[in-house]
Amino acid sequence: MFQFPVGHARVVGLALSLGLASWVAKGAEPPQWPDAPFPTTGPAHAIGATNLGCLTGGMALAPDSAPLEILRPQRNRFWGHPILVATLRDLARSLDAMGHAPLLVADMGLPRGGPLPSGHRSHMNGLDADIWFRGDGPAHHDATWLATPSALSAVAPNGLEINPAVFDAGTRALLETAARDTRVDRIFVNPVLKRALCQERGGEPEAAVWLGKLRPWWGHDRHAHLRLTCPGDSPDCQVQDPIPPGTGCDASLDWWFTEDARAPKPPSGPPSVWPPQPPLACSRLSTE
């Protein structure tokens, strides 16, 4: 049977008890992929795409000594490829050294990846994580708040300007530090936040090194969506198209403030066929 690494059990205990109790009490078979509450054993591999994939050898994120907090732990979405876990822990420590702890980690993925039952079309192969900018409570939150948290928007109510109370030095440091990490492929943020950083930092000599990784997308005013590059240990990981060169502070960003961009709403909810069929390499996960 799978054994959690030392230090993880206290974080995942509640989530696992909630997920396992129902079928144990009924004498039913354990849930199969992607509903299994525990990962597969063996090496870690990100398989397929972030929006159609799965994960073997997943690792649970646990605070331990890292200055981070896991939001809604009862949903059991704090799993990822070990490199994602290491990236988040390193980011948390870097921000702590700058005086901006703790890191608020929301959805990552399920223990074996695959489609989440709600909230996302991606987060399937262990390489995605949502990082909140600011909760609506004190810096360190109790278990009740972590189970039912609420986030503050970094965009003003008019939808065109930043909210300086949230888009502060800590949020700026979060985005820059994460984007400078070579393990990070791209970060989705609200276009207003991208534009603000372009105006403030776009002319710096090294701006393209990190600012180009910040990709404007609908929503994302309360959190940033981190996505890693495919790890070297995962030959079945589907590499995304490369982001355009440069800072991204150009006409492509201007489009996001046109009527065409602001009027239509992005797709919401799952597609008509859900869950989608995973890659063939994921099929064996349902029997392990």
Render pLDDT for 231-253 as a digit per residue (tens, 0 to 9): 999 999 999 999 999 999 999 99
pLDDT of res. 262: 79
Distance CA 129, CA 77 (A): 10
Distance CA 45, CA 41 (A): 11
How many domains does the chain contain in total?
1
Is residue 63 one of the residues assigned to a domain? yes
Q: 58 falls in which pLDDT band (50, 70, 90)? A: very high
Residue 203 CB-density burial (10 A; 0-12 exposed, 13-18 middle, 19+ buried): exposed
Is residue 45 one of the residues assigned to a domain? yes
Render pLDDT for 67-123 as a digit per residue (tens, 0 to 9): 999 999 999 999 999 999 999 999 999 999 999 989 999 999 999 999 888 778 899
End-to-end CA gap in the chain: 10
Distance CA 6, CA 207 (A): 40
Distance CA 4, CA 136 (A): 32
Is residue 115 one of the residues assigned to a domain? yes
C-alpha dihedral, 201 to 133 to 100 to 107, nearest 10°: -120
Report the predicted TM-score, pTM, of the whole model to 2 decimal places. Answer: 0.86
**Which DSSP category does 135 fall into?**
B
Pick 275 or 117 by higher pLDDT. Answer: 117
Q: Is 68 left (phi over 0), alpha (psi -120 to 50) or beta?
A: beta
Q: What is the mean pLDDT of residues 246-262?
A: 93
Is residue 184 one of the residues assigned to a domain? yes
Distance CA 255, CA 21 (A): 50
The distance from CA 157 to its chain's CA centroid, rounded to whole angstroms, is 25
Distance CA 13, CA 78 (A): 12
Range of the domain at 254: 9-263
Contact yes or no for 47/237 (Cβ under 8 A): yes
Least confident of 51-65, 194-208, 237-251: 51-65
Is residue 14 one of the residues assigned to a domain? yes
The dihedrals phi and psi of 90, each to the nearest 5 degrees, come to -65, -40
Render pLDDT for 8-44 as a digit per residue (tens, 0 to 9): 444 444 443 333 333 333 344 444 566 788 999 999 9
Distance CA 206, CA 184 (A): 17
Is residue 276 one of the residues assigned to a domain? no
Q: What is the CATH number of the domain that holds 112?
A: 3.30.1380.10
Is residue 275 one of the residues assigned to a domain? no
Contact yes or no for 116/45 (Cβ under 8 A): no
Contact yes or no for 121/131 (Cβ under 8 A): no
Is residue 69 one of the residues assigned to a domain? yes
Distance CA 14, CA 198 (A): 42
Q: What is the mean pLDDT of residues 176-185?
A: 98
Residue 193 CB-density burial (10 A; 0-12 exposed, 13-18 middle, 19+ buried): buried
pLDDT of res. 288: 60
Distance CA 123, CA 114 (A): 8
